[in-house]
């Protein structure tokens, strides 16, 4: 597996990471035994950059990853997040970036994970009324205390990233980015490159849409959040499917799957981008890992760019509730 720098830390991680969220919530039922095997498969494939958060499964995801880390801590670079506060059984959320909450959330994550220090600690979302300088200063105290190695931000604007970076070096920024979600290309990616900040691209397969296997929501579990996601509603889904048909043809000509081609596009286009596709199945981890061996030419990357013009994508990324705290 190719290695890539993690910010300006001198540390390297696998070019592809693993998003662990779906092992606990949002994409149907969970199976801890299967998920633990998937984590092991990821390591076997050379994937050692794992991503979780305290809100995923209301702590379950950190506990699950923590079980795996008991025997593999030295092999994994672990990222987790704080800031989204929810009640169990509800999607509604509030954002809390207060210094007191940050300190409490970090200690709780350390307990669930069963570790002494978090490698990369993200502010999951920004609290609109709170200056980012205050949030990052509180996070920096965790570094001083030895509880966190490096700091990250999720779903923030380029301007906020610059302000945060002046308070304490930001190692990574996490935002949704894929052929289907191209917003970071306007300014954010360039700012990360300028500041030496790694860009962790979550949902690089468009929540499985770019795999070409999801043609309706009928087969999804009743609790699957895509049933209510604007991009997966009937009219939007039909419009968006036309985009994936072209991707499938392109991938077939390269003897690859659409998912592999979508990941190869990200890896080939930006050296400072680390896609973190999420899955709870070992077979998909193996398939995704193979994408790191695909080399696309500049012409092929440009062709894929043209296949997915941002204005052709139908629907917002989230519901209004899910959009809270994005892009601040």
Q: Per-residue pLDDT for the chain (328 aa), expressed as one digit of tens each?
A: 999 999 999 999 999 999 999 999 988 889 999 999 999 999 999 999 999 999 999 999 999 999 999 999 999 999 999 999 998 877 788 999 999 999 999 999 999 999 999 999 999 999 999 999 999 999 999 999 999 999 999 999 999 999 999 999 999 999 999 999 999 999 999 999 999 999 999 999 999 999 988 888 888 998 888 998 999 888 888 888 888 999 999 999 999 999 999 999 999 999 999 999 999 999 999 999 999 999 999 999 999 999 999 998 988 998 888 888 888 8
Of the candidates 185, 125, 182, the one whose C-alpha atom is nearest the C-alpha of residue 154 is: 125
pLDDT digits (tens, 9 = 90+) for 45-85: 999 999 999 999 999 999 999 999 999 999 999 999 999 99
100 in Cβ contact with 135 (< 8 Å): no
Pairwise CA distance, residues 147 & 284, whole Å: 33
Tell me whether strands 170-176 and 12-14 are parallel, antiparallel or unpaired: unpaired
| CATH number of the 3-312 domain | 3.20.20.100
Which pLDDT belongs to residue 237?
87
The pLDDT value recorded for residue 327 is 85
Burial 98-131 (b: 16+ CB within 10 A, else e): eeebbbebbeebbebbebebbbbbbbbbbbeebe
Domain locations in the chain as residue ranges: 3-312
**Residue among 27, 56, 122, 177 flagged as catalytic:** 56
pTM of the model: 0.95
Q: What is the pLDDT, as a whole number, of residue 219?
A: 85
User: Checking phi first, is residue 89 left (phi over 0); if not, alpha (psi -120 to 50) or beta?
Assistant: left
Question: What pLDDT does residue 197 have?
Answer: 98
Backbone angles phi, psi at 317, to 5 degrees: -70, -35
166/195 Cα distance (integer angstroms): 10
Kindly state the helix (H) or strand (E) to which residue 35 belongs, with its residue range. helix 32-44
Active site residue 56: yes
Provide φ and ψ at 26, rounded to 5°: 80, -25
Q: What is the pLDDT of residues 225-247, one digit of tens each?
A: 899 899 988 888 888 888 899 99
Residue 41 confidence (pLDDT): 98
Asked whether 173 and 30 are in contact (CB, 8 A), the reply is no
Give the integer Cα–Cα distance in Å for 42 and 289.
8
Distance CA 129, CA 48 (A): 36
């Amino acid at each position: 597996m190719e290695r890539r720098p993690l910010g300006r830390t001198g540390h390297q991680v696998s070019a592809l990471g693993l998003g662990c969220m779906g092992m606990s919530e949002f994409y149907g039922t969970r199976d801890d035994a299967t998920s633990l095997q998937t984590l092991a498969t990821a390591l076997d494939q050379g994937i050692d950059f794992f991503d979780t958060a305290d809100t995923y499964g209301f702590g379950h995801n950190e506990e699950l990853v923590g079980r795996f880390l008991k025997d593999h801590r030295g092999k994994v670079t672990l990222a987790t997040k704080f800031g989204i506060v929810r009640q169990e059984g509800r999607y509604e959320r509030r954002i809390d970036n207060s210094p007191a909450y940050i300190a409490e959330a970090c200690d709780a994550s350390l307990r669930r994970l069963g570790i002494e220090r978090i490698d990369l600690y993200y502010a999951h979302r920004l609290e609109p009324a709170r200056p980012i300088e205050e949030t990052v200063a509180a996070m920096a105290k965790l570094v001083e205390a030895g509880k966190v190695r490096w700091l990250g931000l999720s779903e923030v604007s380029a301007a906020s990233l610059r302000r945060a970076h002046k308070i304490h070096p930001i190692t990574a920024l996490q935002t949704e980015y894929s052929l289907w979600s191209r917003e970071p290309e306007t300014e954010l990616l360039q700012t990360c490159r300028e500041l030496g900040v790694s860009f962790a691209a979550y949902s690089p397969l468009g929540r499985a849409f770019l795999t070409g296997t999801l043609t309706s929501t009928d087969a999804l579990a009743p609790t699957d959040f895509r049933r209510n996601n604007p991009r997966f509603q009937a009219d939007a889904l039909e419009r968006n499917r036309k985009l994936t048909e072209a991707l499938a043809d392109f991938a077939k000509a390269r003897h690859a799957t659409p998912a592999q081609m979508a990941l190869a596009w990200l890896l080939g286009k930006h050296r400072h981008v680390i896609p973190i596709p999420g899955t709870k199945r070992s077979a998909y981890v193996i398939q995704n890992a193979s994408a790191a061996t695909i080399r696309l030419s500049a012409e092929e990357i440009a062709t894929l760019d043209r296949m997915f013009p941002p204005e052709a994508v139908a629907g917002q990324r989230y519901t209004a509730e899910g959009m809270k705290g994005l892009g601040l």
